[in-house]
Amino acid sequence: MRGRSGMSVSGTEAPAFRCGHVAVVGRPSVGKSTLVNALVGERISITSKKPQTTRHRIVGIATRADTQAIYVDTPGFQTRHHSVLNDRLNRIARDALADVDVVVVVLDATRLTAADRAVVRLLPPAATVVAAVNKIDLIADKAALLPRLAEIAGLFPFAAIVPVSAEQGTQLDHLEREIVARLPVSPALYPADDLTDRDERFLAAELVREKIFRLLGDEVPYATTVAVETFTVDGGLRRIGVVVYVAKASQRAILLGEGGARMKTIATRARQDMERLFGGKVFLEVFVRVQRGWAATDASLARFGY
């Protein structure tokens, strides 16, 4: 998908244009997608308080006058619960570490866990890794950050360690400088106004999934996947038909809510975000279907786009 306001890139006047891929990894909920969105300047990757919100490799592109950073957002690496879907998500995160120029490992300034250490152990020893220590807005006493940063410095020979707040935009310019300085000299790989490699169909399905993650309890979001069945553009109007698949009839009832009220809220919020992101009116219809075992096997996951 492209942004609406273009930026021009001049390859001739800037002698050292830098461009490359940057994998963004970390345990669930550290703020990887929030960070990628903040660096890209658009909400292209969905976020929520619940772990494992991100289920795909999602590219977010940030083009400046003399750099283009191609961020690869990944599912949170998870070590505790094993399922076919979780194994698939971990594989996506692990694969994203290959063939990138820089790795950003996102850590949480408020707590360092065994899961963080497991992520650091996955880092290829020769990789150029920048640590983004996120959520510093939650730390009132900044002096308390120093021992945490020292502890992080002992985990891996990081190229840089940058405390940031992805949500508030604090120190993101500093983080970006540390990242792009390590990208190779290369022309831009994407047009300057591309924001992501994903199309509107994918983004539409993800926005519905985001609302489900944000508005429901702990069971249903993990039993849910979303597919776009119809997507037609009619002048400035996008007509989008989405199917939400759940594993059981009881989950369907929870998702719909009393008289369909919960689903109505989900659909309204998703539509509003789509209209903002796509820059035009959206007519959205959402259906809920029970599909037992959609997440049970690799073959079934593949059918649903994983």
Ligand X SMILES: Nc1nc2c(ncn2[C@@H]2O[C@H](COP(=O)(O)OP(=O)(O)OP(=O)(O)O)[C@@H](O)[C@H]2O)c(=O)[nH]1
Give the binding site for ligand X (CB under 6 A): 26, 28-34, 47-49, 51-54, 75-76, 134-135, 137-138, 165-167
User: Using CB atoms, what's the residue nearest to ligand X?
Assistant: 76
Minimum distance from residue 104 beta carbon to ligand X (Å): 11
Minimum distance from residue 258 beta carbon to ligand X (Å): 27
**128 interacts with Mg ion by CB under 5 A:** no
Nearest Cα neighbor of 174 from 206, 217, 232, 130 is 130
Site string for Mg ion, 16-55 (x = CB under 5 A): ----------------xx-------------------xx-
Among left, alpha and beta (phi > 0; psi -120 to 50; other), residue 70 is beta
Minimum distance from residue 110 beta carbon to ligand X (Å): 9
Contact 91, 74 (CB under 8 A): no
Nearest Cα neighbor of 244 from 275, 283, 273, 270 is 270
Closer to ligand X by CB, 3 or 76: give it. Answer: 76
- Among ligand X, Mg ion, none, the one that 30 touches (CB under a kind-dependent 5 to 8 A) is ligand X
Minimum distance from residue 138 beta carbon to ligand X (Å): 5
Alpha-carbon span 151 to 170, nearest angstrom: 22
Closer to Mg ion by CB, 33 or 68: give it. Answer: 33
Alpha-carbon span 77 to 74, nearest angstrom: 8
Minimum distance from residue 11 beta carbon to ligand X (Å): 33
**Please, where are the H alpha helices in the chain?**
32-40, 84-96, 114-122, 145-153, 172-180, 200-215, 249-256, 261-278, 298-303
Closer to Mg ion by CB, 32 or 43: give it. Answer: 32
Minimum distance from residue 128 beta carbon to ligand X (Å): 21
- Among ligand X, Mg ion, none, the one that 137 touches (CB under a kind-dependent 5 to 8 A) is ligand X
Angle between helices 261-278 and 249-256 (to 10 degrees): 70
Alpha-carbon span 305 to 96, nearest angstrom: 17
Contacts of 72 (CB under 8 A, 6+ apart): 21, 22, 23, 24, 57, 58, 59, 96, 100
β-sheet bridge partners, residue 45: none
Nearest Cα neighbor of 178 from 205, 160, 202, 199 is 160
Closer to ligand X by CB, 91 or 289: give it. Answer: 91
Closer to Mg ion by CB, 41 or 279: give it. Answer: 41
Closer to ligand X by CB, 19 or 208: give it. Answer: 208
Total residues in contact with Mg ion, by rule CB under 5 A:
4
Minimum distance from residue 277 beta carbon to ligand X (Å): 17
Query: How many Cα atoms are found within 13 Å in the side-chain-facing hemisphere of 150?
Result: 5
Closer to ligand X by CB, 170 or 186: give it. Answer: 170
Minimum distance from residue 119 beta carbon to ligand X (Å): 11
Closer to Mg ion by CB, 33 or 196: give it. Answer: 33
Alpha-carbon span 58 to 35, nearest angstrom: 13
Where on the chain is the footprint of Mg ion (CB under 5 A)?
32-33, 53-54
